[in-house]
Every structure is written in C-alpha cells, then in structure tokens.
Structure 1
Amino acid sequence: MRREIFETVKLSIPIIIAQLGVILMGVTDNLMVGRFLGAVPLGASGLATSLSFLMTSIGFGGLGVVASLISQAKGQNNHAEIGRLFRAGLQVSVLMSIVLGLAGIVIGLSLDSFGQTTEVTRLAKPFMYYLSASTLPLLVFVAARQLTDGLSYTRVAMFVTVSALCFNALVNWVLINGIWIFPKMGLNGAAIGTLLSRIFMATSLLLYIFKSNQFRRSLATARYNSNALVIRILKLTIPVGFQFFFEVAAFSLAVVMIGWLGELQLAAHQIAINLASTTYMMATGIASAGAIRVGRAYGEQDFHKVRSAGSAAFLLVAVFMGVWCITFLTANDFLVSLYLKDNPEVKQIAATLMIYAGFFQLSDGIQATGLGTLRGLTDVNVPTVITLIAYWVISLPLSYLLAFTFHMDVEGIWIALSAGLTFSAVFLTIRFYRILHKRRKAAPTSAV
C-alpha cells in the first residue's frame, strides 16, 4: 500500500500540474477579464466558458478511457495494440470535435433564449463561437495525451500545458488591452487567446510524440486501424463522456439559473466556481493516475495490486481535498479579492459561496476518483447511471427548489450541487469495491 501511494503520487504530480494548467487558462481569462473589463464581462465570459465546457466535457472526459486501455495494453506488453489505440483515439477526437463544435455554435446562436441580461448575452455570443472553434485542437491534444499518460510519461503533457499557459497569459494581455501593433479587442481578445493556446498545445504534443524515440516502437507496429477499434473506443468514450457531461451540465445549468437571479450573483458564482474548478481539475489528476495504475494492474490480472492502487488514490484525494477545504474556509476573502479590485457586494456574495465550495471539496474529489478507478476497470455504464441520478435527479431539481421556492438565492443552488456530489461520491466508491470483489472471484486462481 505504501509503495502504491508513492507510485500514485509520482505519477499524479505531473498530471495534476497539466490539469491545473488547463483550468488555469480559464482562471487567467477570468482574472484578466475581471481586472481589466469588470463584473459584467466576467459574468459573460463565465457563462460562455461554462456552456462551452458543457459540450467539450463529453470528449474531454470520454477520451480519458483511452489512457486506461493503453495502460492495460502496457500491462500485457502489447505494443501494437498501444499504437492502434493511439491512432484510433485521434480519429475519435476528430469525430467528436466536429459534432461538439457544431453543438457549441448552436448554443451560441440560442443564447437569447437563456434568460440572461441583454449585455451578458451580447458579450457571451462571440466568446462562445471562438471557444467552439477551439474544440478541435483541444480534443486532439486530449487524445494525444492519452498515449503519454497511459505509458506513464506524464511529464510530457505537463511541460506542454505549462508552456501553453504562459503563452495564453501573454496573448490575453496583448489582445485584451491592445498592446503594440495589436488592436484592443476586450473580451474577444481573451477568447482568441484561448483558441491560439489550444492550437499550440495540440501541435506541440503531436510533434513530440512523432519525433520521440519513446513511442516509435508502438507507432511503427500499428500504422493502420480497423473501424472495429474506433467503434470500440466510441462505445467506451461516450458513456464516460456522459459521466462528465451530467456533472458539467448540472453546473452549467446552475449558471443559467444564477443568471436569472442577477448579474451580481452570476459574477460572484463565477469567482467561486472558478476556484472550485481549479481544485477539482487537480483532483482529476489523482483520479487519472489511479485509473492508469488500476488499468495496469488489471491488465496484469493482479487483483491485489488493483485494490491497492484504487485505495491509494482514494486516500490521496481525501487528504489533498481536505487541505483545500480548510484553505477555502479560512482564506475565502483573500481568494475573492484576487478577482475584483472593487464591487464589495459581489465580493461578499463570492466569499460566502467559497464556504460552500470548501465543504464540498471532499465529495468532489472522491467522486472524481471513483470514476477514475472504475474507468481503469473499464466499468462505464453503471457509473454513468449514478452520475445521471446525482446531478439530474438530485442536484438540478433541488437547485430550483431551494433557490426559487424557498428563496435561498444562490446559496440554495450551491447546497443542491453539494448534495449531488456527495451522493455520487458515496455510490461510486461502493461500486469500485463491489465490482473489484466480483471480478476477483470470477478470475482464475492464478490471477488472484
């Protein structure tokens, strides 16, 4: 168990940094938009970002299963299968990008019907279109990353993402404010910065993979894919993608409901959810490491190692998110002040929401790890049902009930979201240990 904790930490740190880099691009956008343009553009960018991520989450989350499959193939020492999975994953990412990018554009065209204020809608529309255009490079990067992460070369994506984060901050500053020969583009400058940064990420990672000797053996032994493998990956990625979709959709629709409450609540929510999303993406780094370790052990049919890898991931995420829980509860005012120079009313609302964000840190991290460890076992259907119930049967109806029927305002929505996260955390954890027990009993004696 101690060795599994060490190996999971070693594997997860670069993934956490890479995940943090991805979400920090959104944080950078929001920090600069809030500082340079004010609360209303901040709310508009938050709305567009939430709705765009709602679409891309299906691909972003679903493609993660490819790393588990590659890890299993590595456990079986099947290099040809690793290469085929990588190429099929890229094909799936392109197919998903076309569908999800078009869906994002349709949502952008329909923003008038979302009940937001006129100014928020006007600003959010073009932002949404730019983000939809960036779906292709984002998902190609995510698909390529499954090869490096699945083979435990997690530092590769980390370096690419950190470089892209610096590039994004520079381009944002230049395009928002109009530096040197570049025009002042305001909010749209932040969106273009995100698009260019995602192109940078995809291009850099693909160049590294095809030029590096580390992956040459796997790529050389599998130059062509069968349609059957693409279909197999789609059958796994779509349920896993919808696990993420159900959660992200609940949070995105919560943004819409909060927009009905007012611009101040929307801006405050964006600050709090931005910070909570940062810790969540870091927790998914531990979850991804857990999925890779579980997948490798499952490929070797070593069920004792599977249990140790899963338990190590759960323990690590509980400690990690516990630290962030305490941070959010004790430093809420300071964290909020990073986003806005003035507007005390928004600051007060956001500081209160940070307390709720602190309390659901543990549930959020554990449910992410539950999904990751089950993904390592290629168990995707039942977890999808659990997430559907958690967010669409519990969180969303309860959000409307508490916010509008019981007049608890934005705080009621956050309580409801916490309830869904807790339900998901409990039942996904139970599911992992139950299915592990069943598969261990069903395995040949030599595998146990």
Structure 2
Amino acid sequence: MLALAWPLALTNLSQVALVLTDTLFLGQLGEVPLAAATLGGNLYFIAMALPFGLAFATAAMLAQERGRVRHHMREMRRTVRQGAWLIVPLFAVLGLALWHTGAILRATGQDPALAEAAQTYNRALLWGMVPFYGFLLLRGFLAALERPGPALCVSMGAIGLNAVLDHALVGGGFGLPSHGVLGAGIASAVANGSMFTGLALWVALDRRLSRFRLAGRFWRADWRRMREIVVIGLPIAGTMLLEIGIFSATALVMGWFSPGAVAAHAVALQVASASFMVPMGIGQAATARVGLAAGAHDAAGAHRAGWTAIGLGAGFMLLAAAVLLSVPHRIAALFLAPELAETRALAVTLLMMAGLFQLADGVQAVAAGALRGLKDTRVPMLIAALGYWGLGLPIGLGLGFPAGWGPLGVWVGLASGLAIVAVLMTLRWARMARHGHAAPAAPQNTESFSTSGLGLVEK
C-alpha cells in the first residue's frame, strides 16, 4: 500500500503546490489579490468536482479490469478512451460557467471589485481544465497498473515551471511587469498543460505502456462503457462537490465578514488542503488495491487493503495535527506580510482549528477511496450531504452569526461536519468489507463482466 500510495500522495501535494505558489506570490501583493484568487479558485474547484468524479470512476473501473486479468489491455484501453470522450461536454458547460465568474460571485453578495478580479483569474485558469482532466485519466491508468512514478515526475516538473512563471508574471521578475491575478491564472494553466503533455509522452514512449495503444481507434464509441463511467462517477462527483462546496461556501461566508477574513481563511484552507493530499493519495491507492482484489474476487484481500489504508491515513493526519497545533504562527507568517497583523492573527486561530479536524478529514477521505474500489459511490454521497450540508454548515452559521463567534464559529461547524462524515464513512466501509458487497454497475457490453459483490458474473 505504501509503495503505491506515497507517489500518489506526492503527486497530489505537487498539485496543491501550484495553488500554494500562486498564494505565496499573491499574498505579497495584498489582501485583495489573494482574496480574489481564493474566491475564483473556489469556483474553479467546484467546477472540477465533475471531472474529478469521472476520472476517479475511470480509475476504479481500470483497477477492477486489470484484476480480472483476461483481456484487461483491451478493456482498459476502451475505458480510458470513453473517459476521455466525456471532456467535450464537460468543458462546454463548465468553461462557460467559469467565464462568468464575476456575475456568479456578485450574485452571492461579494464585493464587485473582488468579483471582477476573481473573474480575471478564472478566465486564464480555465484553459488548463482540459489538459488537467487528461492528466487525471492517465494517472488513474498508471495507478491501476501500480506505476505511479511517472505522474509524480511530471507533477514535480510542473511545480518548478509554475514557480518560474509566477516569479515572472506575478512577482515582476526577469524585468517583466507584474500582471497580478491574471499572471497567476496563466501560470497555473500552463503548468496544468505541461503535466498532461509530459505524462502523455511518457506513456507513448514507454515500451510496456505503449502496448496498451490508448489512442488506438480513438473515434470508436462504447456507449455502455461510457454510461458505466457516468453512473459510477456522478455520485463521486456529487460527494466531492459537497465537500469542495462546503469549503467554498465557507469562503463566501467569510466574504460577508471582511476581505481579511477571506485571506485568513485562504491561508488556513491552503495548508489544510496540503495535508489532505496525503490521505487523498492513500485513498487513491486504496481504490486501486481494493479494486484489484475485487476484480480478482479476493474478498479477504479487499478487506485487508481497505483497513490498511485507513490506518495509514489516520496515522499521517495525527502527525499533521501535531504540526498545525504546534507552530501556527510560523505557518501564517509564510503567507501574510507583517503589516497584516489582524489578518495574520485570525489565520493563526483558523490554522489551530484545522489541526483539530485533521484526523476526521483523513479518515473520511481514505474510507471513501476504499469504497470507490468496490464501486460503492451512492451512499457515500448521501453521507457527505448529511454531514457537510445537513449538519456542518448550519452549525457553522449558527455559531458564526447568532452566537457571535465570527469566522471561528464557521470553522467549528466545518470540523463538526467532517467528524460526522468520518464516522459514517468508516462504518459504511466496515459493513461493505465485512459482507463483501459492491454497488451494482451498468454492464459494459455482452463480452464484459459486471460486479456482483466481490465475485464476478459473466454476462
């Protein structure tokens, strides 16, 4: 599990490093650019929930297809191809929405100047959406083959490229003028494009990977397979949308307090997101390992893989919590200039609050990943809806406004929602693993296999 998980976790961290790099450079320009990029970035990641969900569904299918052994190269090629087809309608809808970021933010009561700056950021950033989705598909393909190293290598290269571009376009380095939030959006879009290009070239040039001929007969449709991706992927996207959405909604609520509150929230959220990428990587490894065992109808192996991953995720997040609770002042100082004393003090408070919910955040992420390996995605979505929106957000709003706790009260609500989701997700995994169930999936074609528990039924 560790051999597969640590490169995936580092790949996730490298993706967060792109946003962190933007945040570090924009934070030196003041509260408004940082707050604008935060609000715009929140909308961008809300939009990315659907591509993430479909990519994760593709990864789960690829893992089970490889576990079945028979004809796995042909089946995996078809699944990657149909997953790639879905980006066309996705970008048509999501790109149009992001183009009008300003109108969306103004409708939520945000400051017009912040909304306009956030729109500038997103109009540059959205052009990296298509290549980033392609990168996610190829990363899931490599994870199913238990070869996560190439994705890590190209992601690390993208960090360096993004830092150089931020230095030039945001910081005004190399004698160039600073373009503020526009420069940050361009830098991240180019970095996303480089990740897909690098990974696609790697797959094409590697002799063992090129045998899959992923681009072969790319024009051929497999509508049943595409339907299965959508059936499995939409609940995953819904779960991610509920989780991303709760943090994005919190950012909007922070905008009702002040730009400083948004900036402090951005700092705490970026740090918490960075630590979250490790259990998210472990969860992706769990999807692959549980899926491989499920495809081979090895119930004991699936059970062992899932609980091993949950234990690893919990152990790491306990360490992350210790760091956030020990040195929040030093972390806040990395992002906010000394003259922003009030904002920095609030960021310290929120960082400590983030430390308290690290364990819950990690456990729910890994448990959800293990359930994806069984293609169990609908119930986790309902659990997320209950925990985040049914309980977490109302608690946060109640403590933040009527109770007068302010931004801290909103984050207490977040922590409460995460704790509830973590408990319910773990109970769900325990039940599914104990009884060997998997969520039913749409059949691919008359020559394929569909999942029934951890066994297989030939159709």
TM-score by length of 2: 0.92
Matches within 5 A, 1:47-86: 47-77=39-69, 78-86=72-80
Partners of 1:278 and 1:45 lie apart in 2 by 17
- Cα distance per residue 1:70-123 (max 9 Å; x no partner): 111111112211111111121123432332222222333322222223432232
1:211 maps to a residue whose letter is: L
Task: Report the CA distance shift for 1:400/1:140 in structure 2 as closer, same or farther (over 3 A).
Answer: same
Where 1:90 maps in the other structure, the secondary structure is helix
Aligned to 1:363: 360
Task: Report the CA distance shift for 1:440/1:187 in structure 2 as closer, same or farther (over 3 A).
Answer: closer
Structure 1 position 151 matched with structure 2 position 151:
no
Unaligned runs of 5+ in 2: 439-451
Asked if the contact 2:120/2:181 (under 8 Å) is kept, the reply is no
Where 2:336 maps in the other structure, the secondary structure is coil
**1:237, CA displacement in angstroms?**
1.1
Partners of 1:399 and 1:270 lie apart in 2 by 17
Partners of 1:317 and 1:129 lie apart in 2 by 36
Identity of aligned residues (%): 30
Task: Report the CA distance shift for 1:304/1:410 in structure 2 as closer, same or farther (over 3 A).
Answer: same
Matches within 5 A, 1:97-246: 97-180=91-174, 182-219=176-213, 223=217, 224-246=220-242
Tell me the number of residue pairs that the alignment of Structure 1 and Structure 2 aligns. Answer: 439
Partners of 1:115 and 1:306 lie apart in 2 by 47
Aligned to 1:285: 281
Where 1:63 maps in the other structure, the secondary structure is helix
2:34 corresponds, among 13, 22, 42, to 42
Where 1:430 maps in the other structure, the secondary structure is helix
Structure 1 position 344 matched with structure 2 position 367:
no
Partners of 1:381 and 1:373 lie apart in 2 by 14
Task: Report the CA distance shift for 1:350/1:400 in structure 2 as closer, same or farther (over 3 A).
Answer: same
**1:14, CA displacement in angstroms?**
0.5
Asked if the contact 2:81/2:214 (under 8 Å) is kept, the reply is no
Moved more, 215-224 or 291-300: 215-224
Where 1:387 maps in the other structure, the secondary structure is helix
Task: Report the CA distance shift for 1:210/1:444 in structure 2 as closer, same or farther (over 3 A).
Answer: closer
Where 1:134 maps in the other structure, the secondary structure is helix
1:72 maps to a residue whose letter is: Q
2:310 corresponds, among 304, 310, 314, to 314
Task: Report the CA distance shift for 1:305/1:106 in structure 2 as closer, same or farther (over 3 A).
Answer: same
Task: Answer 1 or 2: which has greater helix percent.
Answer: 1
Partners of 1:438 and 1:300 lie apart in 2 by 16
Aligned to 2:414: 417
Unaligned runs of 5+ in 1: 1-7
**1:199, CA displacement in angstroms?**
1.1
**1:375, CA displacement in angstroms?**
0.2
Aligned to 2:86: 92
Partners of 2:212 and 2:456 lie apart in 1 by 29
1:80 maps to a residue whose letter is: R
Partners of 2:137 and 2:103 lie apart in 1 by 28
Structure 1 position 32 matched with structure 2 position 25:
yes
Aligned to 2:323: 327
Partners of 2:317 and 2:414 lie apart in 1 by 17
Asked if the contact 1:80/1:222 (under 8 Å) is kept, the reply is no
Asked if the contact 1:283/1:369 (under 8 Å) is kept, the reply is yes
Asked if the contact 2:267/2:347 (under 8 Å) is kept, the reply is yes
Aligned to 1:4: none
Moved more, 50-59 or 407-416: 50-59
Asked if the contact 2:374/2:437 (under 8 Å) is kept, the reply is no
Asked if the contact 1:73/1:82 (under 8 Å) is kept, the reply is yes
1:249 corresponds, among 245, 258, 271, to 245
Moved more, 55-64 or 195-204: 55-64
Task: Report the CA distance shift for 1:398/1:62 in structure 2 as closer, same or farther (over 3 A).
Answer: farther
- Cα distance per residue 1:113-157 (max 9 Å; x no partner): 222234322321211222223221221211222111121110111
Where 2:173 maps in the other structure, the secondary structure is coil
1:30 maps to a residue whose letter is: T
Where 1:379 maps in the other structure, the secondary structure is coil
TM-score by length of 1: 0.94
Structure 1 position 274 matched with structure 2 position 270:
yes
2:19 maps to a residue whose letter is: G
Task: Report the CA distance shift for 1:348/1:227 in structure 2 as closer, same or farther (over 3 A).
Answer: same
